[in-house]
Structure formats: C-alpha cells, structure tokens
Amino acid sequence: MQFSPNPNSQISPNPQPYRVVVAVGGGIAAYKVCEVVSTLFKSGVEVKVILTNSAQKFVTPLTFSTLSRNSAYTDENFWQSSQPRPLHIELGEWADIILIAPLTANTLGKLVHGIADNLLTNTILASRCPVLLAPAMNTDMWEQASVQRNWELLLTDTRYHSTGISSGLLACDRVGQGRMTEPSEIVTHIQSLFHTKGDRALTGKRILISAGGTREFLDPVRFIGNPSTGKMGLALAQAAQHRGGNVTLVHAPINSNIPHNIKSIHCTTAEEMRQAMIEELWNQDVIIMSAAVADVKPRNYSKEKLAKKELPETLPLAPVPDILAALASRKQTHQQLIGFAAQTGDIITPAMEKLQRKNLDAIVANPIDQPDSGFGYDYNQAVILDKQGNRFDIPHCSKLQMAHQIFDFVLKSGAL
C-alpha cells in the first residue's frame, strides 16, 4: 500500500516530501529496517537515518545511506564540531516523524528517564514530532517487570506511538513475544501518522469492521463470490487502530496479512458473517460494513464434489441474510452504522436509496467501473452521504488515505 498519490489521482501531491528520521537500535531486527527505509524512499518520503554504536554491528551506515540517498549519522558525526548547528537540533527540527526500530530495552530505559547520551536520544529530546516505536528483544527481556514498567510509562506520553510487538521464533531460538513488527506494518503506521499528525481521537472507542467477499458454496470446490480482496476493510481497521481505536475485524477470505494487534474473526459465508457481526455488535461505537456480501447462494449444497456432468444447467438460488438490516434493527442510539455501496454508473441514487431503506447513519458510495479503483486495487474513490443530508467527496487516493477520510467524516459529524 503506497502513500504517495497515484500519478492519475485528482489529489495534488504533498508540496514538500514528508520527512522521516529512522533511528536504528542494536538488535538483529535492524536488518528489517533496510526494507522500511527503501519502501519509504520509493514512495517519495525523504529519509535520514541514525545508527547507535550497537546498530552498526548489525548493519553499516553505508547500507542505509545507499537506501535512503541521504547521509546516515552515527555518534561519530554527533561529536564533530564542523556543523553550523548541532546535529541533533537539525535532525529533531527537520523530522515530521521519528521511527525507532528496533527499540531496545536500553534505549527504552533512556527515553523513559530523559537520558540523552548519544545522537539518537538527544535527537528525540530536541524534537516535537510523533515518535513511532517498534520494540524487539528476547522474550525474557521483554517480560521483565522493569521493561514492562518502562514501556507502559513511556506510552503515557502522547508523543509516542507503538507498532506493538509480535510473537514467533526469535534469533535466540526462543519462541514467544519479542519479534519486531513486520516492515509493511511499520510503513503503514507511518503513513497514518502523516495524516493524523499523531492525533488519537478514537482512543477508548470500539470499532467493528467487516471486510472481504463472502463465498456461497455449491459443493466443496465451487462457490458464488465476487472480486473483493478485503483491502478496503483492512485499511479501515489499520486506520482506526492507529488512531487509538479498539478494532475488531470480521473478514471473509482476504489476500493480505492482518496486523497482529487487530482482533480478527474469520468467516466464509454471509450467514457466518451475520452471526459474528451480531455477536460483536453489543459493545461497539462504530460499525462499518465494508465487506462485499453475496446476495444469493445455491439453493442446494452437495457435500461431495459434483462431477462436471452432474452440474445443473440452471442453478436454483436462494437469498442470503441481509446483514446490514440485521445490524440496523439491533443497533443502539449511540452507535454509528455505516454501509458501503459498490456501484457502476450513477453511484449516488442507489446509495441514497440504500441509506434510507436500511436505516444507516451514513453510506460510502464507491465506483467500481473507474480506472484503478475498487475491487483488488490499492486505490479508491468515494462519496460519503449521511442521513442529515451531508455529502463529502473523496477523490482518487490510496485506500488507507480514504479510510482516514472516512473517520475524519465520522469524527467531524460529532457522532463520537
């Protein structure tokens, strides 16, 4: 998912490139940061890299300067007096966002106590921009009471944002918590911070999102479905989580990995999705039905694969449950229910009819017959309509940008 607008987009590119300082700590996960730097550069972001002395034992400054097309700074540069202004001041004022990856227990402890004894920690204290933390360390180190205490205390400072920490096989052969979040998730979180500037207006809010295309099977290998890949629903889940929301994603089969810090519930059919959405509905604040739910299913299902000669020439069909109607009939007055309407041609008239017929608070109408938009693409465009008669147009942009604009609309409406 790229941040920079598509060249054919109606959105004007940011007049000045976004600027990110990537501060690399001393851990084996430092090699993954190479992908972060490369991806950011390719998307038009200007990147400068700081390496601690320990980080240089894993990846060289030359590697990062090559990937970023910029200087990579070390403590050796920090103590030189050739700069017209102190380096940490220059870097701190220059950055729109600072990423610390991997964040080690050592650097974590310094940040909590305001200790500045190297270029990385001095730059943090000399800056005011959001700081994204991607911790990585041995499981026993991470679970130490002192480390957990430092971690919880640091996150009380609203400047700091967390990618969370993953579980799996570590470099020490331990299986458990301690893995750094994958580069793609880190980059997506940075993209969100470009939009929000660190605002977490959804903190304490519970967001329920559906995603993907449901499948209605004729036999174990054949089904009625649609081209949805779930990218829009996943973008909505990531945007909400990055804004502080407590997110539950109910999804049909999708083609993307779901971030580890988002609760996910897998389903396949419309009936399975209906049951999951109703079970999760009761304590949610915002419900967004972005899934492409089937309208019909085969009336008869065969538990055994049908031979080609056994396939019916005409396929009897039966309706599937109307999930939006079921949610609308159960939602409480404080809850916001938002639907999606994927349309060709005139997208407004059928969306307005669906908004009123299903008693929604708002609907997102998006065209699926426009270039580089809709099913399967990384980009989208839409018109948001609400029951008060408001209209908000979202020009062609990445699905993550569109997700943030949808939440901007919800927040500005005063519903939360």
Burial class (CB in 10 A: 0-12, 13-18, 19+), 186: buried
Cα–Cα distance, 178 to 30 (Å, whole number):
13
Q: Look-up: residue for tokens 């085969």? A: 298
362, 392 contact by CB (below 8 A)? no
Cα–Cα distance, 294 to 227 (Å, whole number):
11
Q: Is 172 a catalytic residue?
A: yes
Catalytic residue, chosen from 34, 172, 267, 397, is 172
Give the catalytic positions in this structure.
172
